[in-house]
């Protein structure tokens, strides 16, 4: 499973690519939009950002997957938004804006998970690697 150090390195490399290409590359990956999610650290209270893909959009909400590559522990960003659901999201061509994060209900996950893995098989592989149920997270607009 990926270490915290390797996850931070991947985020740094992704940001470097965005800067180096002035945003021409890096806003999509594997056919999914990429977004920058900023949460508030549950222990530090400091802003923490990571780059994530969104395999599904429902209305104006972006769905992100708290997979951490199939690790048995939740990603730190997920734990952060569980404690403080007000997050900031940056999308291609836009400015950072606030959203409310919420974990999909069991019924929502049962409906959405098959759609996620149908189009993005890597998530099915991640779920097979762990006993924890990988959460889906809605990033809902404030208005």
Task: Count the residues in the chain.
Answer: 143
Question: Using 50, 70 and 90 to split pLDDT, how confident is the model at 18?
Answer: low
Q: Is the pLDDT of residue 131 over 80?
A: yes
Give residue 56's Cα distance to chain centre.
11
Q: Is the pLDDT of residue 21 over 70?
A: no
pTM for the structure as a whole: 0.85
Q: How many CB atoms lie within 10 A of CB 5?
A: 8
CB neighbour list of residue 94: distance below 8 Å, 6 or more residues apart: none
How does 33-58 read in b/e, with b if 16+ C-beta sit within 10 Å? ebbbbbbbeeeeeeeebbbbbbbbee
Q: Is the pLDDT of residue 136 over 90?
A: yes
Give residue 109's Cα distance to chain centre.
15
Segment 64-123, tens digit of pLDDT: 999 988 889 999 999 999 999 999 999 987 889 999 999 999 999 999 999 999 999 989
Domains annotated on the chain, with CATH: 4-141 (2.30.110.10)
């Amino acid at each position: 499973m990926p270490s915290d150090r390797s996850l931070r390195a991947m985020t740094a490399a992704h940001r470097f690519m965005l800067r180096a290409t002035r945003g021409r590359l890096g806003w999509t990956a594997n056919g999914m939009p990429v977004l920058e999610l900023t949460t508030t650290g549950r222990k530090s209270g400091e802003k923490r950002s990571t780059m994530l893909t969104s395999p599904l959009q429902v209305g104006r909400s972006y769905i992100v997957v708290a997979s951490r590559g199939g690790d048995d522990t939740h990603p730190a960003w997920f734990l952060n938004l569980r404690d403080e659901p007000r997050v900031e999201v940056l999308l291609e061509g836009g400015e950072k804006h606030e959203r409310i994060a919420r974990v999909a209900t069991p019924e929502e996950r049962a409906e959405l998970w098959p759609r996620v893995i149908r189009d993005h098989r890597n998530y099915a592989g991640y779920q097979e690697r762990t006993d924890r149920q990988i959460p889906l997270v809605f990033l809902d607009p404030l208005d």
